[in-house]
Amino acid sequence: MKAVVFHAVGDIRLDDVPDPKVQQPSDAVVKLTASAICGTDLHFVRGTMAGMKPGTVLGHEGVGIVEEVGGDVRNLRPGDRVVVGSTIGCGFCSYCRAGYYAQCDTTEPAGGTAFFGGPEAAGAYDGMQAEAVRVPFGGINCVKLPDEVTDDQAIMISDIFPTGFFGAKLAEVSRGDTVCVFGAGPVGIFAVISARLEGAGRILCVDRHPDRLDLAREQGAETVNFDEEDPIDAIARLTGGIGPDRVIDAVGVEAERPHRGPAAGRTETPDAEFSAEVSQTAPEANPDGELWQPGGAPTMALRWAVRSVAKAGTIAIIGVYPPQVQAFPIGEAMNKNLTLKMGNCNHRRYIPELIDIVRAGVIDPDQVLTKREGITSAIEAYEHFDRRETGWTKVELEPVG
Ligand SMILES: [Zn+2]
Ligand SMILES: [Zn+2]
């Protein structure tokens, strides 16, 4: 079958690889009808997140048809249409039972989060930018789709909608709250949508890309472009000097440098200090020399979050930080009595609920989808997405022609 395979930093290819097979009685094999490219994939390709094993199939978002199941998969039959969650849980350990699928003891016993198409520390499970995928614990990690939910909608429920929803839950968004979402990428947009679902009174959204800010405004957010104004000043002014009650960091570690615009000056010095503080892993080859080393990138969105949030407010971190990042303005947070919550999304915990929300027509998640490409154009699609070209905010891949 065709699959997008990681070879090295800056080197991914569309290769022919062996078809996946049921290996364990709890496995399912799913023939994919939709996959997608995610910002997280770019961190692996750029080397800002290290540890990818050459030969790993990329991609952690998928929708498809069950092709084969092992004997211990009792809730699925070949032919069932399913969405596959990005993280891999077993469904029976104490963490999965408590809803912490991203901390499953069985699929990632060494700690961390097991997910498709990720580095060795995440289990090096082959991903879903392919024609088919082996899903460990298929009965848990595949969720059946009703006919009313289309593939374009369902692919959003594989990762980015649950992650945004998880962000709103972590941030403790409740009725009437003023919420600020940093990052208007696909996850940020779903954080805006989810804050609305949780009853937020006002939602601000900060980014630098006008097309992404347009998407945020379409979802009811008040937007701040940090290339045009200082975001801390703008947020303070828009909230009467008080700040938002809840902040969601949907950016994580930055993948690109350098920073321009009014925001650059205020953080340049701390960035340098913070970069020096973090432990550097072996530098990866950076194809264009413009990328941060693993662990060396600044965490500006997070520092803006601490600076801008109201006293006694809550910050949720759903953007991705590699384990090497050690820096955080803890003193500032402590002296503001902040609550901090963070983590990798427990996709499986939210997917059934989100399927119901989409089926009921409350939210149409495919509004966030901006491009559809065949898998044979996957490498080109990565390049457009990597350059953050206008209109390439969320890219769906169609593995079956
Ligand atoms: Zn993703
Ligand atoms: Zn588990």
Report domain extents, the chain: 2-159+345-398, 163-342
CA of 35 to the centre of ligand 1 (A): 10
Q: What is the pLDDT of residue 275?
A: 33
pLDDT exceeds 60 at position 217: yes
Q: What is the pLDDT of residue 112?
A: 84
Q: Which CATH architecture fits 163-342?
A: 3-Layer(aba) Sandwich (3.40)
Phi and psi at residue 163, to the nearest 5°: -70, -45
Cα 342 to its chain centre, rounded Å, is 13
The H or E element spanning position 151 is helix 151-158
Alpha helices in 175-329 (DSSP H): 186-197, 210-218, 231-238, 262-277, 300-308
pLDDT exceeds 70 at position 271: no
User: What confidence tier does 268 reach under pLDDT thresholds 50, 70, 90?
Assistant: very low
| CA-angle at 168, arms to 267 and 350, nearest 5° | 130
Q: What is the pLDDT of residue 197?
A: 97
Phi and psi at residue 132, to the nearest 5°: -155, 165
Phi and psi at residue 247, to the nearest 5°: -125, 135
Collapsing DSSP to helix, strand or coil, 165 comes out as helix
Answer whether 314's CB lies under 8 Å from 246's CB: yes
Q: Which ligand is nearest to the CA of 97?
A: 2
Q: What is the pLDDT of residue 297?
A: 52
Q: Which of 38-47, 123-132, 390-399 has the highest mean pLDDT?
A: 123-132
Answer whether 375's CB lies under 8 Å from 399's CB: yes
The predicted model gives 147-171 an average pLDDT of 97
Phi and psi at residue 269, to the nearest 5°: -65, -50
Residue closest to 231 by CA, chosen among 304, 321, 141, 143: 304
CA of 127 to the centre of ligand 1 (A): 11
User: What confidence tier does 288 reach under pLDDT thresholds 50, 70, 90?
Assistant: very low
Q: What is the pLDDT of residue 282?
A: 30
CA of 22 to the centre of ligand 1 (A): 24
pLDDT exceeds 70 at position 311: yes
The pTM assigned to this predicted structure is 0.89
CA of 348 to the centre of ligand 2 (A): 11
Q: Tell the burial category of 231 from Cβ atoms under 10 Å away from its Cβ (0-12, 13-18, 19+).
A: buried
Answer whether 110's CB lies under 8 Å from 104's CB: no
Q: Which ligand is nearest to the CA of 90?
A: 2
Answer whether 108's CB lies under 8 Å from 114's CB: yes
Q: Which residues 6+ apart lie within 8 Å of 14 measured at CB?
A: 2, 3, 4, 5, 375, 376, 378, 379
Which tens digits make up the pLDDT trace of 55-68? 999 999 999 999 99
Q: Which ligand is nearest to the CA of 187?
A: 1
CA of 368 to the centre of ligand 1 (A): 13
Q: Which CATH architecture fits 2-159+345-398?
A: Alpha-Beta Complex (3.90)
Q: Which ligand is nearest to the CA of 41?
A: 1
CA of 192 to the centre of ligand 2 (A): 30
CA of 280 to the centre of ligand 2 (A): 31
CA of 137 to the centre of ligand 2 (A): 10
CA of 102 to the centre of ligand 2 (A): 8
CA of 390 to the centre of ligand 1 (A): 19
Spatial separation of the C-alpha atoms in residues 175 and 245, rounded to whole Å = 11
CA of 87 to the centre of ligand 1 (A): 10
CA of 374 to the centre of ligand 2 (A): 34
The token pair that represents 304 in the structure block: 């803006």
Which tens digits make up the pLDDT trace of 82-104? 999 999 999 999 999 999 999 99
Spatial separation of the C-alpha atoms in residues 11 and 15, rounded to whole Å = 12
Spatial separation of the C-alpha atoms in residues 313 and 104, rounded to whole Å = 30
DSSP 8-state secondary structure symbol assigned to residue 269: H
Distances (CA, A) of 83 to 46, 140, 251, 324, 356: 28, 11, 25, 32, 13
Collapsing DSSP to helix, strand or coil, 205 comes out as strand
CA of 125 to the centre of ligand 2 (A): 16
The token pair that represents 25 in the structure block: 């009685």
Answer whether 32's CB lies under 8 Å from 401's CB: no
Cα 302 to its chain centre, rounded Å, is 16
Q: Which ligand is nearest to the CA of 36?
A: 1
CA of 146 to the centre of ligand 1 (A): 22
The predicted model gives 119-133 an average pLDDT of 96
Residue closest to 163 by CA, chosen among 139, 142, 194: 194
